[in-house]
Chains A and B, each alone.
Chain A
Amino acid sequence: MLPLSHILIFTTLLFLIGLYGVLTRRNVVGILISIEIMLNAANINFVAFSASLDVSPQIGQVFVIFIIVLAAATASVALAIVLSIYRNQKTIYTDEIDLLKW
């Protein structure tokens, strides 16, 4: 099996790519997509740690299950919010949703 540090570098890069998406996308749904990538990077980290470190192997996987479930909840609530914003503001671009700024 390949060394743990390689997987960690990979997940770091994946996380940073997701973060890049979060910080540069204008579209709310695009930001949500990027957040999913970040969550996946974290999940791979959990699995890799639990598989190769000296801990009980279930712990990491249980956390991954929790994260997946939370991601599902996040996605549903966030998309409901997106729909609601679109209905009220007729836009889903984050820099145009500026009702509280003035």
Chain B
Amino acid sequence: MDIFGLIGPASFYGFMAGILVLAVLTVTTRNLFHSAIFLAFTLIGVACIYFFLRAEFLGGVQILLYVGAIMTLVIFAIMLTAKMGDPSIPQSNRQRLPVFLALAALAFLLVPQIVKTSWKVVESLKTTSAVELGQALMSEFVLPFELISIVLLAALIGAIAIARSDQ
């Protein structure tokens, strides 16, 4: 019985550490294509985090949309534009150290605050089914839902209009 109380959090921590490592690799790898591959693994890891948090529908959507669609777009863009095999071109600008220091300072500022805050946590993990999610989308959030669809349509048309080569 205890073993579950041990294994669940342990694997959760393992996943979180793995995601952090993959994310660091994603932002620091020189080769942009490898960076995209690491991003794909990061996104799959995030989907696993959703599964841990009992949001299975979101995990599925995450894989389907992020890994299936957005990643493919990103890889396409890398391929259509890249001259990245050349090691003489620097892949990061000169602000690496200041940015790192600033972000580390930000982390040292934020993390104690997170620990200090007393969250009103409920005892058990709350879950929701895809049906309830759909009902929420269709009742309470119907206006944002429709707006989002308009935004999507606009993005669709805009992307086509921008990317089209003007003859």
Contact = CB atoms under 8 A, between A and B. Distances in A.
B93 to A, nearest CB: 5
Interface string B106-140: 11001100110101111001111000110011001
Interface in B60-87: 61-62, 65-66, 69-70, 73-74, 76-78, 80-82, 84
Interface residues on A, range: 35 or more
B163 A18 contact: no
Contacts of A1: 8-9, 125
A5 to B, nearest CB: 5
Contact of B99 (A8, A23, A52, A83): A23
A79 B77 contact: yes
Given A36-B39, A47-B58, A61-B55, A77 B74 contact: no
| Most chain A CB neighbours (cut-off 10 Å) among B20, B43, B77, B82 | B77
Contact of A62 (B73, B90, B136): B136
B107 A26 contact: no
Contact of B103 (A20, A25, A92): A20
A51 B99 contact: no
Nearest to A52: B121
Contacts of A97: none
B156 interface: yes
Contact of B70 (A44, A64, A71): A71
Contacts of A8: 114
A83 B128 CA distance: 40
Contact of A30 (B73, B91, B140): B91
Contacts of A81: 162
Interface of B: 8-9, 12-13, 16, 19-20, 23-24, 26-28, 32, 35-36, 39, 42-43, 46, 49-50, 53-55, 57-58, 61-62, 65-66, 69-70, 73-74, 76-78, 80-82, 84, 89-93, 95-96, 99-100, 103, 106-107, 110-111, 114-115, 117, 119-122, 125-128, 132-133, 136-137, 140-141, 144, 148, 151-152, 154-156, 158-160, 162-163, 165
Given A5-B114, A30-B91, A80-B158, 18 more contacts: A1-B8, A9-B111, A20-B103, A25-B91, A26-B93, A29-B81, A33-B74, A36-B74, A37-B26, A37-B42, A47-B53, A47-B58, A50-B126, A52-B122, A57-B127, A58-B136, A59-B136, A72-B152
